[in-house]
Amino acid sequence: METRNTKIRAVNLGGWLVTEGWIKPSLFDAIPNKDFLDGTSLQLKSMMVGKYLCAESGGGSRVVANAGSASHWETFRLWRINETLFNFRVANKQFVGLDSGGDGVDLVASSDLPERPETFEIVRNPDDPSRVRIRAANGFFLRVRTEERVTADYQCDKSNEWGDENPSVFVMSFTKRLEGEFQLTNGLGPQKAAKVMRDHWRTFIVEDDFKFIAENGLDAVKIPIGWWIASDPNPPPPYVGGSLAFLDNAFSWAEKYGLKVIIDLRAAPGSQNGWERSSSRDGFREWGDTDDTILATLHVIEFLTFRYGKSPSLYAVDLLNEPLAETLPQEIVSKFYIAGYKAVRKHSAAYVIMSCMLETSSGELLLPDANSLDRTVVDMQCYFLCDTELDTIQDTLPFFYEGWFAQLESLATSNGPLIFVGEWVAEWGPNGATEEENQEYVEAQLKAYERATFGWAYWTLKCAEDHWSLEWMIKNGYFKL
């Protein structure tokens, strides 16, 4: 094993080449009918029978209106076709549509791919937008005939008929909203998305940011990217081409200011965790379900290391950000990590970073077996968002030290892979904390994360939420190196 590296102090460039709506909410302002983005989860209650629409057995059968309360089977995830037309996906991943047998008006959830019979329009009451009608592809509205039968055969003659007794009226509630790259680009449409995205890439991170980073005691940037960048300039819809040129710029700026670069595959094809930051379309995790998604991901890793392998700034490649342990078998991720390591080594001696998997139900860290691989790093993100019941920094710090501090100490073995705190933030829960308390909290975290044998990376450089923005933290005196 080679001599250990010099620990890095880095910052993530989140929300730049992979969209996360909370980082820059204004990106979504130009989307028409933006309540209905891809992955928006809806529940629909029939006012006539007082029950929720439900995909029986979670999908593969009929849609009924017999659920007294709403949870999993009663939740429908949108696929947006345009600003007025949508598909509805159910728990078992089938799509709602019209039964092709009989008179073709019964509502079912049995199609694996959406076509015209699985296309619907959501019509809202202008006086009460929570009340909706749903028009099917045959031109008729859905109606509840009985709790056991929902059909698309209702002709609405009067637009003002929105009362509880009307069988076509549903009360709609939102249970989840996604604001990632897919939602943004598909919501904007191809022409508008191209302009919005390129303006964003051009202005959100610029050369002066790299100069600022270098002048404030940091020596590296971690750049989240999405799998579609390897298809630039013509990525598959709805993604927009052009981001690769800005990644090229980042490497040029890093070389100019003496900064290291960590490439972070934040979004893999099919989504490795179902979260908006991995550009999931609808919240399902589908990476790893087929070999195609894994092979496509390996292609991205090899493409990037071939392109930047000769750059003196390429320091590390993070193979897959935040794979979700609860739905993704560890053996699939481990097999991918080995293949990803080999793909990097074809073109570069850069460090290879493997994200640990967190079993969220138990809190257990599932670490990759990387001891036999040279120049490997395990990324364990350390988000300690303080319980608001802890009123003072003195109450908070014992919990912090018992958690991350001790864990990092135990993982920092002499012969294992290097440990990297790839994301952390100085966001302390209680409102009204003083500047001194926030500074003390930052110092405590830095003291702990310095135990990481590879180093750390703050999340993120710029953000609408002040404490998540390292730029804001530095300029306002909370963060000093």
Q: Give the up-direction half-sphere exposure of residue 144: CA atoms within 13 A in the CB hemisphere.
A: 27
Asked whether the predicted pLDDT for residue 19 surpasses 70, the reply is: yes
Q: What is the C-alpha separation between 74 and 72, in angstroms, rounded? A: 5
pLDDT in the model for residue 1: 36
What is the reported pTM?
0.94
pLDDT in the model for residue 3: 43
Task: Indicate the pairing of strand 418-424 with strand 455-458.
Answer: parallel
CA dihedral 341, 346, 350, 356 (to 10 degrees): -10
* CATH 3.20.20.80 is held by the domain 8-27+179-475: yes
Structure tokens at 101: 């047998």
Distances (CA, A) of 240 to 12, 18, 64, 184, 226: 22, 11, 39, 10, 11
DSSP letters, 25-83, are: GGGGTT-TTTTS-TT-EEEEEETTTTEEEEEGGGSSEEEEEEESS-SSTT-EEEEESSS
Structure tokens at 56: 């029986």
pLDDT in the model for residue 335: 93
Q: Where in the chain are the domains?
A: 8-27+179-475, 40-176
Structure tokens at 457: 């990376």
Judge contact between 438 and 430, C-beta under 8 A.
no
Evaluate whether 8-27+179-475 and 40-176 have a shared fold: no
Residues 297-316 pLDDT 10s: 999 999 999 999 999 999 99
- H or E segment and range at residue 385: none
Asked whether the predicted pLDDT for residue 21 surpasses 80, the reply is: yes
pLDDT in the model for residue 414: 60
Residues of the chain by 3-state class (helix, strand, coil), percent to 5:
30, 25, 45
| Residue 76 Cα to chain centre, angstroms | 19
Judge contact between 28 and 476, C-beta under 8 A.
no
Task: Indicate the pairing of strand 455-458 with strand 128-135.
Answer: unpaired
Judge contact between 390 and 368, C-beta under 8 A.
no
Judge contact between 451 and 418, C-beta under 8 A.
no
Listed range (43-52, 83-92, 108-117, 420-429) with the worst mean pLDDT = 420-429
Residues 243-294 pLDDT 10s: 999 999 999 999 999 999 999 999 999 999 999 999 999 999 999 999 999 9
Asked whether the predicted pLDDT for residue 387 surpasses 60, the reply is: no
Q: What is the C-alpha separation between 349 and 279, in angstroms, rounded? A: 29
Judge contact between 204 and 15, C-beta under 8 A.
yes
Asked whether the predicted pLDDT for residue 89 surpasses 50, the reply is: yes
First-last CA distance in the chain: 30
Judge contact between 21 and 27, C-beta under 8 A.
yes
pLDDT in the model for residue 432: 66
Q: What is the C-alpha separation between 15 and 17, in angstroms, rounded? A: 6
Q: How confident is the model at residue 326 (pLDDT cuts 50, 70, 90)?
A: confident
Is 357 in a helix, a strand, or coil?
Answer: strand
Q: List the one residue out of 79, 34, 82 whose CA is nearest residue 189.
A: 82
Distances (CA, A) of 28 to 31, 66, 191: 6, 36, 15
Q: What is the C-alpha separation between 172 and 42, in angstroms, rounded? A: 7
Longest dimension (CA), the chain: 78
**CATH for 40-176, among 2.80.10.50, 1.10.510.10, 2.60.120.200, 1.10.3470.10?**
2.80.10.50
Q: What is the DSSP letter of 416?
A: S
Residues 339-378 pLDDT 10s: 999 999 999 999 999 998 766 566 566 778 777 889 999 9
Q: How confident is the model at residue 2 (pLDDT cuts 50, 70, 90)?
A: very low
Asked whether the predicted pLDDT for residue 395 surpasses 90, the reply is: no
Q: What is the DSSP letter of 402?
A: I
Judge contact between 426 and 462, C-beta under 8 A.
no
Judge contact between 42 and 51, C-beta under 8 A.
no
Tokens 């804001």, residue located = 472
Q: What is the DSSP letter of 481?
A: -
Beta bridge partners of 141: 135, 154
Q: What is the C-alpha separation between 225 and 209, in angstroms, rounded? A: 18
What's at 191, amino acid-wise? Q
